[in-house]
């Protein structure tokens, strides 16, 4: 495994194979928390080996989409398809073993355990051939923190520890929810380099991100949610920052 600084991150990822299904499809998905409807007939698609940005103001339903895809929330109606297979009613643990990796908002680490213990827990039985040292090549800052309690790491280091999960699980899609929240700009640069590295290895990404310009630079497709509905979508070559900013105000 090469580190981001050693890999050609600007090299285009492989083209989709003709007839290859999208990595992820949501069709007319609705979701609620109790009696409160939070998503209304949301449809989106993540092509193979692509980066898709899911943007929108606070409360738009972005995290709800991530929970639906990961299986931690059941839809009221609609269909969720992963790699050509209907997983709408598949439990979360089976989706994880089928290639879904969620990096949740708020880091998603075991704060009371050491860095090494977190890394060992992130490594599933099916990926025992991937050594911790191999993953640390991508996260050299963690190599000097292996015995440190994870909760005492800086915010950026905690986020890197959370992202290490994606390098152990061999996912087909990584769901990244607010990866840059609360981080200094320099650390955000490092985090986005890691995301580019994942993309260069052929992993599809669905990212929720507060920095709109960064998201548009990384992604090939963008969907914008507002009040539980998709109000804007398209290629990032066609959708401009100003279009997104205007949609935020609708």
Q: What CATH number should be reported for the domain holding residue 146? A: 3.40.50.300
Q: Do the domain assignments include residue 16? A: no
Q: In the chain, which stretches have pLDDT less than 70?
A: 1-19, 126-129
> What's the pLDDT score for residue 248?
78
Tokens representing 184 are 């200094």
- Four-residue CA torsion sign, 7, 11, 17, 20: positive
> What's the pLDDT score for residue 6?
44
> What's the pLDDT score for residue 129?
64
Overall number of domains in the chain: 1
Question: CA 57 to CA 211: how far, in whole Å?
Answer: 11
Q: Which domain covers residue 92, as residue numbers? A: 21-248
Q: Do the domain assignments include residue 11? A: no
Q: Do the domain assignments include residue 81? A: yes
Q: Do the domain assignments include residue 94? A: yes
> What's the pLDDT score for residue 240?
86
**Residue 136: partners with Cβ closer than 8 Å, 6 or more residues away:** 119, 142, 143
Q: Do the domain assignments include residue 3? A: no
Q: Do the domain assignments include residue 84? A: yes
Tokens representing 208 are 């929720």
> What's the pLDDT score for residue 63?
96
E strands present in the chain: 24-33, 36-46, 51-55, 77-82, 85-86, 100-103, 173-177, 204-208, 221-226, 229-235
Q: Do the domain assignments include residue 12? A: no
> What's the pLDDT score for residue 228?
95
> What's the pLDDT score for residue 245?
85
> What's the pLDDT score for residue 127?
62
Q: Do the domain assignments include residue 73? A: yes
**Residue 141: partners with Cβ closer than 8 Å, 6 or more residues away:** 157, 160
∠ CA 33-35-37, nearest 5°, is 65
Question: CA 100 to CA 210: how far, in whole Å?
Answer: 22
| Residue 174: strand, helix, or coil | strand
């Amino acid at each position: 495994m090469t580190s981001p600084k050693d890999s050609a991150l600007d090299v285009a990822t492989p083209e989709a194979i003709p007839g290859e299904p999208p990595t992820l499809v949501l069709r007319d998905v609705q979701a609620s928390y109790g009696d409160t409807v939070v998503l209304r007939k949301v449809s989106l698609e993540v092509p193979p080996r692509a980066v898709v940005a899911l943007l929108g103001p606070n409360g738009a339903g972005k995290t709800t989409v991530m929970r639906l895809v990961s299986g931690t929330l059941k839809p009221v109606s609609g269909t969720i398809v992963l790699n050509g297979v209907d997983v709408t009613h598949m439990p979360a643990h089976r989706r994880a073993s089928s290639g879904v990796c969620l990096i949740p908002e708020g880091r998603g680490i075991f704060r009371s355990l050491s860095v090494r213990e977190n890394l060992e827990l992130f490594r599933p039985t099916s990926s025992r051939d991937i050594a911790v040292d191999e993953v640390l090549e991508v996260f050299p800052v963690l190599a000097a923190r292996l015995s440190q309690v994870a909760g005492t790491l800086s915010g950026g280091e905690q986020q890197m520890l959370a992202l290490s999960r994606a390098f152990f699980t061999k996912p087909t899609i990584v769901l990244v929810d607010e990866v840059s929240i609360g981080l200094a700009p320099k650390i955000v640069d490092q985090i986005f380099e890691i995301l580019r590295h994942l993309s260069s290895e052929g992993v599809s990404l669905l990212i929720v991100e507060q920095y709109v310009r960064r998201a548009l630079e990384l992604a090939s497709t963008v969907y914008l949610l507002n009040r539980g509905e998709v109000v804007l979508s398209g290629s990032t070559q066609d959708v401009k920052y100003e279009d997104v900013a205007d949609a935020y105000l609708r």
